[in-house]
Amino acid sequence: MDGLNKSSRTWKAYKVSKSLVPNNSITKKTTWNQKKEQALKDKEFKDKLRLLKQEKQDAKMEKITKRKEREEQKIEKERLQILQQRLNQKRIDRLRRKEKRNKALNEGRKKEINNFE
């Protein structure tokens, strides 16, 4: 079947097997125990890899949570500072009003004392 055909197409020659030994005996070089050992090694490797990935993910999540906590603390600190300023301003206003009342009362008492004399 080698060579040119009527349509001038070449046909592939049939391949002759390289060995006379059947394919099953070639592929079956490993024993069942070796396959089990290899499977066990592969499983251990995958478990270790999964564990490392999990540790990496945990470390990443820990960093993220710490960053969020710091941000929340910063926001809370700013909020308390603003609140304290507001309360401080209210306290100052209250003291001013008190001083005005006391001043007015004292002036009124002075007038009363002057009237008695």
Q: Which residue has the higher pLDDT, 62 or 89?
A: 62
Tokens describing residue 15: 């391949």
Mean pLDDT value across the chain: 82
- What is the residue-wise DSSP string for 75-106? HHHHHHHHHHHHHHHHHHHHHHHHHHHHHHHH
Q: Which residue has the higher pLDDT, 79 or 55?
A: 55
Verdict on whether the full-model pTM lies above 0.85: no
Query: Model confidence over 14-29: pLDDT tens digits?
Result: 666 666 555 555 556 7
Q: Which residue has the higher pLDDT, 18 or 45?
A: 45
pLDDT of residue 19: 61
